Structure formats: C-alpha cells, structure tokens
C-alpha cells in the first residue's frame, strides 16, 4: 500500500505518506505522533465532527450551534443533521448541555456549543 494523506488533526496540515499494510502501517511526514492515529483511523474507520444548528425559542437568536461531542462515523453525517433539524429547543441552554443523547444509535451525543 502507498497512500498520501493530509493530516487534519491540527491546522498545520502535515503531508503524510503511508506505506506497508493496513495491519502494519508505516506513517511518515507527520510533525507529531497524532498523525499515526489519524492515518490509521482515516484508512480503517473514518470519523467526522459534525457541527450544525438547532431551532431554539426564547434565545437571542432563532438557532443555536450544536455539535457531536466526539467524532461520529462518516456514514452518519447526514443522518445527524436530519435528527438535529427535528429539534425545538427552549432557552436557556448552556454550553455543553446534551440536546440529543446517543444520536443515531451511536454512543455520540449532540451538545450545545454556547449559552443561549
């Protein structure tokens, strides 16, 4: 296997070269050790952070930003937004409040990104 990836763990964006096999990957080009984990996850089980907005009543705005509290499997990204779009929250909501627990049957929660 020979694959090029751009590590997106941080804004530096290291260009990685992955050789070897899925079981025994050799990752080069990363400035830190996080690149190894990133390359492994991206090639075996890609996950994404999903950030979107939910309707809210009584707040300073009509919508409040929410996010997955950890990365969720890539295949769920559109389902997550669909679930969040069903919400009708009521102010006050605090940063970190869980607005959907175990979204799409995963162990990932949807949490508020701010107070409102």
Partner 1 sequence: MKNYDIVVIGGGPAGLAAAIEAKKQGIKKVLVIERDIELGGILQQCIHNGFGVHIFKEELTGPEYAQRYINMAREENIELLMDTIVTSITKDKRVRATNCGGILDIQAKAIVLTMGCRERTRGACAIPGDRPSGVLTAGAAQRFINIEGYNVGKKVIILGAGDIGMIMARRIVLEGGEVIAVLARGNIVKGLTRNIVQCLDHYNIPLLMNHNIIEIKGKERMTSVVVAQTDERKDVIPGTEKEYECDTLLLSVGLIPENELSRQAGIIIDRKTSGPVVNESMETSVEGIFASGNVVHVHDVVDFVTEESCRAGRNAARYVKGEISAESEAMNVVVSGGLSYCVPHKIRLSAMPDKMDLFLRVEDIYPEAKIVIKNQGKELARFKKTHLTPGEMIKQTVVKALFKDCKGDLEITLEVEGGKK
Give the nearest distance from C-beta 35 to partner 1 in angstroms: 13
The radius of gyration of the chain from alpha carbons, rounded to an integer in Å, stands at 18
In the Cβ-directed half-sphere of 115, how many Cα atoms lie within 13 Å? 0
Query: Applying CB under 8 A, which residues contact partner 1?
Result: 6, 8, 10-15, 48-53, 55, 60-63, 65, 67, 74, 77-78, 81, 95, 113-115
Give the nearest distance from C-beta 32 to partner 1 in angstroms: 11
Give the nearest distance from C-beta 18 to partner 1 in angstroms: 14
Max CA separation in the chain (angstroms): 55
């Amino acid at each position: 296997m020979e694959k090029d990836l751009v590590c997106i763990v941080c804004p530096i964006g290291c260009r990685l070269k992955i050789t070897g096999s899925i079981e025994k990957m050799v990752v080069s080009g990363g400035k830190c050790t996080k690149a190894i984990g990133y390359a492994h996850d991206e090639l075996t089980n890609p996950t994404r952070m999903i950030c979107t907005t939910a309707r809210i009543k009584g707040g300073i705005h009509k919508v409040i930003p929410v996010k997955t509290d950890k990365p969720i499997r890539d295949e769920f990204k559109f389902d997550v937004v669909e679930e969040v779009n069903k919400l009708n929250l009521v102010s006050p909501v605090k940063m970190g409040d869980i607005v959907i627990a175990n979204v799409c049957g995963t162990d990932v929660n949807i949490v508020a990104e701010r107070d409102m």
